[in-house]
Amino acid sequence: MQFSLASLVYGHRGRALAPPLNATFESGQIVAILGRNGSGKSTLLNTMAALLKPISGEVRISHRHNDGSPEEHPLVVHQMSVQERARWVSILLPTAETPPLTVQELVSLGRLPHGNRPLEASNLGENSSESLHLGESISGSLHPVEQALELCGISHWAARKVQTLSSGQRQRVMLARAVAQDTPIMLLDEPTNFLDVEATDEMFQLLSHLAQQGKIIIVATHQRDWAQRHAHQVLWL
């Protein structure tokens, strides 16, 4: 699968922040977006996710034919319905105000694009037909919410209210929600904000694991050393 920027111009109120961007990202790649504060990293991510309209150009999703040639009619992200787009692209934004939900309830919201109601505590771990169906793409037996909590190392927080957590802990919860959404493309805006050194290392290890599963991981970050060591592509803004 490919995620492409085709002559993409992004910005605020019609004012472009950069020349047209052309780039193609492949399944299994980690892409780092680097730049100084105010360079437009967050604006670019929001445009990729169709939270902002591009000034011009397109963001496309396509597959390759068996001969390696790209599809003639790729999907255009900004032309998708909200629900369809949420099955393809998830985005982790800087931690904002959180609703009065438990960790488990908030993470389960990641399953809404797939047409499923938020998961209640009593349902976690049950081998219902719904759980098995939803879990296939992440794990053969665990429900995606349970798997996401486990992957992010926060299963023991499942019953806690999100509002009782620190900013760094909330960041891990929001990542778990994106993992539960189980999209082939994940966009992350400064995912290590508020994290200590150990949690930052764990975050990057998880992103590498997700890329190895075939996801496209695109990260706006100030972590230049990590980007240069681990990213398959680096976009400098």
Q: Could you read off the pLDDT of 210-229 as tens digits, one per residue?
A: 999 999 999 999 989 999 98
Whether 121 shows a pLDDT value over 50: the answer reads no
- Give the residue, 97 or 236, on which the prediction is more confident: 236
CA distance 59 to 74: 10
Per-residue pLDDT tens digits for 143-166: 889 999 999 999 999 999 999 999
* For the chain, counts of helices (H) and of strands (E): 8, 11
pTM here is: 0.86
The CATH number of residue 185's host domain is 3.40.50.300
**CB atoms near residue 83 (< 10 Å):** 11
Whether 75 shows a pLDDT value over 90: the answer reads yes
Specify the 3-state DSSP secondary structure of 149.
helix
- Give the residue, 136 or 27, on which the prediction is more confident: 27
Whether 141 shows a pLDDT value over 80: the answer reads no
* Domain, as residue range, for 39: 2-236
Q: How many domains does the chain have?
A: 1
**CB atoms near residue 22 (< 10 Å):** 11
Q: Which amino acid is at 98?
A: T
Q: Which amino acid is at 106?
A: L
Give residues with Cβ within 8 angstroms of 221, minimum separation 6: 32, 33, 34, 190, 191, 192, 227
Averaged pLDDT of the chain: 87
Residue 135: which pLDDT band, with cuts at 50, 70 and 90?
Answer: very low
